[in-house]
Amino acid sequence: MIKKIEDLLSEIERLTASTPEKVEAARIENLSKKGAISSLMDDFRTVPADQKREVGMRLNELKQKATEKIELLKKRFENSGAASSDIDLSRTAYPIPLGTRHPLSIVKEEICDIFKRLGFSIAEGPEVEDDWHVFSSLNFAEDHPARDMQDTFFIQNDPQIVLRTHTSSVQTRVMERRDPPIRIICPGRVYRNEAISYRAHCFFHQVEALYIDKEVSFADLKQALLFFAREMFGEETKIRLRPSYFPFTEPSAEMDISCNICGGKGCPFCKYTGWVEILGCGMVDPNVLDNCGIDSKLYSGYALGMGIERITNLKYQVKDLRLFSENDVRFLEQFQSAH
């Protein structure tokens, strides 16, 4: 028995391996449950009692040296691999395509950056809202069509809990918590119960702006709009304001820009009018200020809001809104150089 142990120990001491696979084969041959050392352990039961102590010590020494030898061979291959090459052999051999930012994210950040240069800060709020912040505080009448199920998603049939239909709810929350002057932009996702088509979706994205201070006038609003339009669409861009109606602003207007495709000369995109509508705006209604705890006799302000999808369409001529939410890589890859 001792002779077998000494012969196996000599073999292990002379053991070499040229590849990691051969090291593993040597480990299995000697140290596995069916290996040579385990066989000797099984034969240990037949050793005479007066030899068991010496044989047992030799077996333990054999197993320890075999384990050390295998570990030493493994480390040699690990070290030689690290020293000989900086290549990560675990990586795939195929090129890994890099992702790109979503076109809506690109345009949203561009819009926010323009208003930041005007001194606006970003404000955010919950997408699941209550009736007060979405409608009542903003001067919506009880019978206003926007409260109807056709336009609004209600939570668990509770008419007081809704998915916000505009980010104006963020403005009301800020006005309730903060004293003027207030100068914020509110980007975010909004929801409306509409049929999904190439020109409409049940969710989309908005950026709204609010400025409240003493002696804020419509002239301030117009100057901010002109600055935004020229920064977003080019120095030659012209704007025009058309009277409109919104419950939370008075007076209210919709803003058009000269078509950035044809330069205002007329084309199919602008329906040969030379103008394209991009946003709604107006002076904050005094009732809204009073509802939010701001003295309308002392302060005034303006608000404006635009759909990010609409601005993205104007910049990149995307004709189908559904493309923005389908995650089609072929569509998204077109914007790799847009940032």
CATH number at residue 158: 3.30.930.10
pLDDT at 201 over 60: yes
The pLDDT, as a whole number, for residue 292 is: 93
Examine residue 137 and state whether it is found in any structural domain, yes or no: yes
Render 279-320 in DSSP notation, one character per residue. EEEEEEPHHHHHHTT--TTT-EEEEEEEEHHHHHHHHH----
Cα gap 209→189, rounded to integer Å: 15
Judge if 129 and 162 occupy the same domain: yes
The pLDDT, as a whole number, for residue 86 is: 65
Examine residue 91 and state whether it is found in any structural domain, yes or no: no
Cα gap 207→231, rounded to integer Å: 16
Q: How far apart are the first and last CA of the chain?
A: 76
Q: Which domain holds residue 9?
A: 2-84
pLDDT at 83 over 50: no
| Residue where a domain stops, chosen among 84, 116, 136 | 84
Judge if 302 and 219 occupy the same domain: yes
Total domains in the fold of the chain: 2
Judge if 56 and 183 occupy the same domain: no
Cα gap 120→218, rounded to integer Å: 17
Tell me what percent of the residues of the chain surpass a pLDDT of 90.
Answer: 37
Cα gap 103→313, rounded to integer Å: 10
| List of E strands, the chain | 121-122, 128-130, 154-155, 158-163, 182-191, 203-213, 239-246, 249-258, 275-284, 300-307
The pLDDT, as a whole number, for residue 301 is: 95
Examine residue 96 and state whether it is found in any structural domain, yes or no: no
Judge if 80 and 108 occupy the same domain: no
Judge if 205 and 237 occupy the same domain: yes
- Mean pLDDT score across all residues of the chain: 85
Q: Output the six-digit token pair for 193.
A: 């119960």
Examine residue 318 and state whether it is found in any structural domain, yes or no: yes
DSSP 179: P
Judge if 203 and 292 occupy the same domain: yes
Examine residue 14 and state whether it is found in any structural domain, yes or no: yes
Predicted model pTM: 0.67
Examine residue 260 and state whether it is found in any structural domain, yes or no: yes
Judge if 18 and 163 occupy the same domain: no
The pLDDT, as a whole number, for residue 115 is: 95
Amino acid identity, position 137: S
pLDDT at 82 over 60: no
